[in-house]
Structure 1
C-alpha cells in the first residue's frame, strides 16, 4: 500500500525520510528507538579529590584517575598523597548515565 510519502507493508511503515515503523522497534519509529537506546556521547563527570591514600586504594563505580597530589615522597601512607578522579558518563536518550563497575 503506497500513499503520499509512505509505503506500508505488513505491519511496517516506511517513510520517505528513511524512518521505519514496526514491532521490532517496540511498535514505534526506528529514529525514536535509536534516540532512546544508543550511546550518543561519552564524557568525564565532575572532578573529585580522594582522602589520604594507602597502598591498596581503589576507585569503584566507573571512576578513573585523572591526577595525583603528593608531598613528593610517594610512600602511599598517611594523609598527604591523594588522587583526583572523575566518573565516566555516557548519554542515552536525554540522560547522562554514570558507568558502573562490572
Structure 2
C-alpha cells in the first residue's frame, strides 16, 4: 500500500511493488511473491503454483491425490494406483498367500509294489510306515499342499525334483 504497483490493475501490493494480491477474473484471487505467482483461490479450490511445505500435520478430510488423480489415498488408508491395477487392498487380497494348509490326505500300500509315491504334483509325503517284517516300507501317506489367495483355496502345482 502506498507503493508503485507492478502487478497491474485490480491488485494490491504489499511492501514492495511485486508482492501482493491480484484479482484475475470473477472469483479468482492470485497471490504473488517477488512477481512469482504462488497461490490461486477459486471458489472452493486453493491451488499452489509452487512446492508446498508443511511444518506440522497435514490433514485431508477427503482423498489425497497425486498424478492428476491417477493415484490416490482413501480415508480408510487404502491406496489406488496403476502399479497394482486398482486398489492396493484388492491386489494384496488376490495375490498374496494368506494361509497354507494340507488338504485331505490319502495313503497307498507300497509293500512289494514297484512305483513312485506320491506322483501327483502339489502333494507332499506326510508319513511313511513299516512293520517289523521284511526290508521294504509298507505304506506312504500324502496330502496336497494348499494355499489361500483371498477366500479361494488352491492346490500348489509343483513338480518332482
Shorter-chain TM range is: 0.7 to 0.9
TM-score when normalising by structure 2: 0.52
Ranges of 4+ aligned residues in structure 1 off by more than 3 Å:
1-4, 53-56
Instruction: Report the Cα distance in structure 1 between the residues aligned to 2:134 and 2:63, rounded to whole angstroms.
Output: 67
Match of 2:154 among 73, 97, 101: 97
TM-score (norm 1): 0.78
Count of residues in Structure 1 that have an aligned counterpart in Structure 2: 98
Look up the SS of the partner of 1:50 in the other structure.
Answer: strand
Find the structure with the greater CA-based Rg: 2
Match of 1:41 among 74, 96, 99: 99
Structure having greater relative contact order (Cα 8 Å, sep ≥ 6) = 1
Unaligned 5+ runs, structure 2: 1-46, 48-58
Shift in CA distance, 74/63, structure 1 to aligned 2, threshold 3 Å = farther
Q: Deviations over 1:32-75 (max 9, x none)?
A: 11001000000011010114354652323121111234332353
Unpaired runs of 5+ residues, structure 1, are: none
